[in-house]
Every structure is written in structure tokens, then in C-alpha cells.
Structure 1
Amino acid sequence: MFERFTEEARRAVGQAGRESAELGHGHVGTEHLLLAALAETADPAARVLIEAGLDRAEARRAVGRLLGTGGDAQALASIGVDLEAVREAVESVFGAGALDSPSQPEPRRRGWFRPEGWAARSPFTARARKAVELSLRESLRMKSGHIAVGHLLLGVLREGEGLGARVVADHGLDLAEVRRAVEVAMG
């Protein structure tokens, strides 16, 4: 399925993992997919929410209120250290992902002990996996031939029960109206 993702959508899925890590969460949920979509500020679908007053910073505050943040991030923020600004500064000098921990190869397992499928290897919640699956369905419904950031956002909205949709609704936006506006913005 990931071969259908545009470069921006792939970047957003990776960003969702980074959002989770920066907030000190042990999972990737629909709220992290929403934050990652909002990080793609040039994307027409993200612009729909941004122009409605729900930018990444506002959404991040809402996620923090709903789930809390990791202790280190909260302690640094209390003394005026903006971790996102630090990450951007480091990545501007050393390249994207410079602060990410190096990936460890999974041990090769055989038989009964080998995990199967994406769900076994993924920190994604069931709702986030459903939202990604729904993004594929949205792409097919719209006859797009690819999965873009807008499709990910539509998947989060269509899933409707995760924290991503709750953040949008709690901001005073109607999910159905946002869906229609995103579809129009995507053409």
C-alpha cells in the first residue's frame, strides 16, 4: 500500500511517529497523523484546517491537554526551551532526522516466533491503522491513483472516533464540513 503514497504523505506518516516521540507518547494515534498532516503547511488539505484556525501549534496544545506530554518535553518547555525549534535548528545543519535514534535491525525469527503483518511491528493504534486504511479507500473513491496528505486527513476524519477527529471537533469545526472542504481543496 505504501507504494501509492506521495512523497509528502510518506513524510507525514514518518512525522506522525516523530510527533508521538516528541510528546512522549508510546503509540502513534490519529492525533499524531493530524499533527503530521498539519505540518505539511503547503498542502491544500492542511490549509483548510489552518485557515479555519487549527494550525499545528493549536492542535498540538489540544493533544497535550487530552493526553499530556512526556516529562522531559514539559520540563524543558517550562524553562522556555522549544523542542521543535531545537529540532529544526539541528536538522538545518545536520540534515533531516539527525536527532532520530538509529534504527536497530529486527532480529530474524523463524516459525512460531515471527510476528506477522504491519500490526505486529507498528506502534500505530488500531484507530490510526484504520485511518490509514480509510485513506486508501478515500483515494480509490476519488479515483486519485495515489494517497496524498489530504487522503490521510480524510481518513482521520472518516474514522471519526479517534483523538484526531476529536481535536478538530473540539476546535468548533464540523467534521462533515471539513471533509467537504478538504475534498474541494484536493480538486
Structure 2
Amino acid sequence: MFERFAVEARRVVELAAQEARRMHHDHLGTEHLLLGLLAQPQDPAARVLGGFGLDLEGGRRAVLRALGGSGPERDAAALAAIGIDLAAVREAVESDFGAGALDAPPPARRPRRGGPRFTDRGRQVMALALRAATGRRARRIETGHLLLGLLREGGGVAVRVLREQGVDLADLERETEAALVSGARAAS
């Protein structure tokens, strides 16, 4: 399937899988693909997303919020609200039990061989990216096609994150199309 992917687009999928593992997810969904796009800030698709105020760290926080997960910042803020200084607690525990005593244990279940598997929505994004590329008679699937696939899938966590960040999806789609056109001209 990935033989038609440009090197940068393949890298997005690899980075998405890394993000899934980082979050201890055994699946690769639209949210991970969005983070994979944001992880290459020099890439045209990431630059388009950056023009809408999105970056990798903000994307990670937004995905965690959308998934209802907690992150270290959220945990520390919740504890501080009830008068507990997390840094002081960590320091006290580590002085008694050693450095890293509070670090999370490895995930209980082993990831599947070959890494996380695509969700149905993730597979749909891939199909829509291929359709976007073939509709433009492109020889390769570029990162912009992946972004179009995310937008056109329309119902995944990635789209929910984009909406929650105040992104006008129609504007983002137009900007992505324009970036693909200008990239095609530059390659000719």
C-alpha cells in the first residue's frame, strides 16, 4: 500500500505510529496521523496547519483533551488546586525511594507485532488520501493528500481536535489544495 507514498508521507505514518506508542495506544487513528503531520514542521502540510496556529506540542495537548486523557500538566494543575505541590511530593518520594520511583510502569499489554494497527477511520483516511492523489493525477501520495484525507474523513478525533482549536475546515481544505498545486508547480 505504501509504495505510492512519497518519502515524507511514509514518514508521517511512521511518526503517527510513534505517537500512538507514546500514548500507549495499540491503534493508529486519525489523531495520530494529525500528530504525524505536525511532527514534520518543515513539510508543506505542517506549514499549512501551522498557519492555522497548530503545532506538535499543542496538537498533543489537544488530542489528550479530546480523548479525555490526563497529562502531567493537567494532573499537576488538579493537585495544585487542592494545595498539593507535585514537585515537592516527587522530591520527597525520590529522596526515600530513589530517582524515578514515581515513573509510570511499562504498559501492561504488549503492542502487537509490527506496531499499532489502523482504525477503520485511519484506513478511511488512507483511502481518501489515495483518492485525492489520483483525482489530481499525482504519481505519489504527498502529505497534503494525507491532510485532505483527514479532513474528508470528517468524523475522527483529528477533525474534532481541529474544530476545538477553532480551525475552519473548509479554509484548511482550500489552503491544503493550494499548497498541493504550488508544490506540483515547483516539482515540474
TM-score, normalised to structure 2's length? 0.71
- Contact 1:157 1:165 (C-alpha < 8 Å) held by counterparts: yes
How large is the RMSD of aligned CA atoms in angstroms?
A: 2.6
What's 2:14 paired with?
14
Q: Secondary structure at the match of 1:40?
A: coil
2:162 & 2:113 partners in 1: Cα distance? 35
- What displacement does 1:28 show? 0.8
Instruction: Please tell me whether residue 146 in structure 1 is matched to residue 140 in structure 2.
Output: yes
What's 1:25 paired with?
25
1:158 & 1:31 partners in 2: Cα distance? 14
- What displacement does 1:152 show? 0.7
Stretches of structure 2 that go unaligned for 5 or more consecutive residues are 77-85, 88-109, 182-188
Report matched runs for 1:84-103 at 5 Å. none
TM-score, normalised to structure 1's length? 0.71
- Contact 2:25 2:116 (C-alpha < 8 Å) held by counterparts: no
- What displacement does 1:68 show? 4.5
How many pairs were matched up?
149
What's 1:90 paired with?
none
Which has more radius of gyration? 2
Stretches of structure 1 that go unaligned for 5 or more consecutive residues are 81-100, 106-120
Instruction: Please tell me whether residue 167 in structure 1 is matched to residue 161 in structure 2.
Output: yes
Going from structure 1 to structure 2, the CA distance change for 1:122 and 1:26 (only over 3 Å counts) comes to closer
What's 2:44 paired with?
44
1:29 & 1:133 partners in 2: Cα distance? 14
Q: What percent of counterpart residues are identical? A: 46
| Paired AA for residue 22 in structure 1 | R
Question: Quick one: which of 122, 125, 132 aligns to 1:131?
Answer: 125
| Paired AA for residue 156 in structure 1 | L
- What displacement does 1:40 show? 1.5
1:104 & 1:164 partners in 2: Cα distance? 25
- What displacement does 1:74 show? 4.2
1:22 & 1:104 partners in 2: Cα distance? 16
| Paired AA for residue 140 in structure 2 | H
After superposition, the C-alpha distances for 1:77-117 in whole angstroms (9 at most, x for unaligned) are 9679xxxxxxxxxxxxxxxxxxxx9x958xxxxxxxxxxxx
Going from structure 1 to structure 2, the CA distance change for 1:61 and 1:104 (only over 3 Å counts) comes to closer
What's 1:183 paired with?
177
Report matched runs for 1:52-131 at 5 Å. 52-69=52-69, 74=72, 123-131=117-125
